[in-house]
Amino acid sequence: MPYVTVDGETVEINGEKNVLELVRKAGIELPTFCYHSELSVYGACRMCTVEIDNVGLVAACSTPPADGMVIHTNTKRTQRLRRMVVELLLANHHRDCTTCDKNGACKLQSLAYQLGVRKVRFGERSEMLPIDDDNPSIVRDPNKCILCGDCVRVCSEIQGIGALDFAGRGADTCVTPAFGRKLGDVECVNCGQCVAVCPTGALTGKSETEAVWNALGDPSKVVVAQIAPAVRVAIGEAFGKKPGEIETGKIVAALKKIGFAKVFDTVFAADLTAVEECDEFLRRLTKRERLPQFTSCCPGWVKFAEQHYPEILDNLSTCRSPQQMFGSVVKRLYAKEMGIKPEDVFVVSIMPCTAKKFEAKRPEFIEDGVSDVDAVLSTNELGLLLKQAGIVFEELEGQAFDRPFGLTTGGGVIFGVTGGVAEAVLRTAATSLKIDLGYVDFKEVRGFQGLRDATVRLGDIELNLAVVHGLGNARKLLDAIRRGEAKYDLIEVMACPGGCVGGGGQPQPNDTESRKARGKGLYVSDKMAQLRSPGENLAVLKLYESYLDKPGSELAHGVLHTGYGPRRRISGDIKINGTRPGALDVSVCVGTGCYLRGSYDVLQTFTKLSDRDDIRGKVNLKATFCLEHCEDGVSIKVGDRIVTGVTPLNAEETFEEQVLSKLCTDRVSCLCGSGCTAKDEERTRR
């Protein structure tokens, strides 16, 4: 076996890709900022610098190991360099640590203490950039960014979106959304994976704890909570426990202690979702229409589909997510039964997900000005809420969920892990079709591989399923379907790696091992459940009997279903040559699809032509996102008319035919100022 020597200890090389992995294998935890085992190697922060004999100082994360290397991790030079790096980062970092959302959980703060940095010899940051807090899910504070690039890489490499990237050079380098816009104005899907990897307070989930405290203090409000499956196996981490420990009863007890009137289980709504989604799937399967059916539980995935693959929206299940089903049932049915106005019930969702904050504010889920869900707390926010209340979590005695939304099945519990929704639908289908398989576990759809498929038999029916988590993997699957290389009946998509257990609102470290441990906890909870199939949930059946008639009924559709439409990836326009009153508005789409088809070359041609002496001042040229129909070529908009099929080769001809002809609509009096030729007039006439 080849080996290296780390601080005098021999360590075998057994597939490790870099020196950092071997150093950690030796039991030494080198500090890092920009290194993440699930992302590409960046090697920018230099915190993991080691000294190698006959080589010198190198970044351990980006240095491949070689047989016989002698590595030193704690020489005077490496220690001095690390402290200097931390000092330089602190000098450019807004040091309001006591009021920062990441106070106590900030990696920069922790390493400054660990390395003994007690004084910063450089000046403080003088210019403060505006904080981007318009996004309903994520707050971006550029003053706390240390340019580690983790958010850039996770958004691009794992999610395949690229809503954040580096801009500028030298001292002006920064991480920013496209064109310096706010995060809510670009194609961000609110998944929060950038928040999950950010080592400082540059990216944090948008807190709603104050709104919850205000509601709890309002005597006119009946405050009820719903708790998502993945929260119960992660909240313990906020109190020093290991990932995967099931803390359901303690969460209920804690919320009751601080004033919640009722504490319900989102798993009830997950069971309800499985029943509705199964009914919808079996109807489509019988008619062989709108297949494959995609799950619609994940708001990050739904927004991704709206922005990038609007052609598949008819294939999405019309079922609301469990969060929104619960809110709808409580506001429209439960409140009426209790004799309470919907606006007087304050529904708090406790979720592992930052995208749920965005989902709760979608107009589809607001009726007569009343939101189905009033506030969404992440798992991290729940931990903070309980600490603010002085709850000693470890000493609590568990309590049961309140009825009627406390009776649940194991099928609803596993919604929180990748493959769980597909498995719950399969269990429900077996119950609905009265097929006794002798088992309820469909292990074919389980696992943490990013993209997997399975063939499952339900009696005489053979089903082809796909399960995918991480939007980068979803893009690969959808592109394969577009090319005709894959064909499925049912596809489950979760935006976050591992599913909800890896949501952007979960405690750090939110890595593969933590996600697997949380997923294992959910499967343990599933096995302990007396009822395993959502179709067996008596409380769900009672809800249909009392209010909703049957799965798929008109009443059920009104309360439990919704619809989605195409969404622009980036909001607004970019002015190219100013805005002049009375001038003709001409826009060129520079969204992803059009960009790949040459829209920047088209825009360059249009810019040159609109700057001609005879046209200048009569055209307001803009770059815009997104005019749709990009599969036909670059799209442009002239006045109110959208024109597709433009290419760099026909851009000049298109400008003449679409823009000049619009300017010269009057053949007697030329509006472009150059005097129309007979050829111009004939073209306009045509």
Closest CA to 413 of 309, 549, 522: 522
Closest CA to 563 of 375, 362, 390: 362
Is there a catalytic annotation at residue 317?
yes
What is the DSSP code string of 150-191? HHHHIIIIISS----EEES-GGG-EEESGGG--GGGTT----
Q: Environment class of residue 242 by beta-carbon count within 10 Å: exposed (0-12), middle (13-18) or buried (19+)?
A: exposed
- Sign of the C-alpha dihedral computed for residues 379, 385, 390 and 391 taken in this order: negative
5: how many CB neighbours lie within 10 A of its CB?
16
Pairing of strands 375-378, 9-12: unpaired
- Sign of the C-alpha dihedral computed for residues 640, 642, 643 and 649 taken in this order: positive
Is there a catalytic annotation at residue 245?
no
Catalytic residue among 12, 124, 289, 364: 364
- Sign of the C-alpha dihedral computed for residues 335, 336, 338 and 343 taken in this order: positive
Tell me the C-alpha distance between 401 and 399, whole Å.
7
Q: In this structure, are residues 443 and 428 in contact, taking their beta carbons and an 8 Å threshold?
A: no
Closest CA to 437 of 445, 427, 447: 427
Is there a catalytic annotation at residue 328?
no
Is there a catalytic annotation at residue 296?
no
Tokens read off for 472: 């980068």
Per DSSP, the three-state class of 140 is strand
Buried b (16+ CB within 10 A) or exposed e, 621-657: bbbbbbbbbbeebbbbbbeeeebbebebeebeebbeb
Is there a catalytic annotation at residue 277?
yes
Tell me the C-alpha distance between 586 and 622, whole Å.
6
Catalytic residue among 107, 206, 262, 356: 356
DSSP 568: -
Catalytic residue among 317, 371, 635, 661: 317
Is there a catalytic annotation at residue 298?
no
Is there a catalytic annotation at residue 359?
yes
Tell me the C-alpha distance between 217 and 80, whole Å.
52
Catalytic residue among 319, 500, 589, 670: 500
257: how many CB neighbours lie within 10 A of its CB?
14
> What secondary structure, in 3-state letters, does 586-653 show?
EEEECCHHHHHCCHHHHHHHHHHHHCCCCCCCCEEEEEECCCCCHHHCEEEEECCEEEEEECCCCHHH
The set of catalytic residues is 277, 280, 297, 317, 356, 359, 364, 500
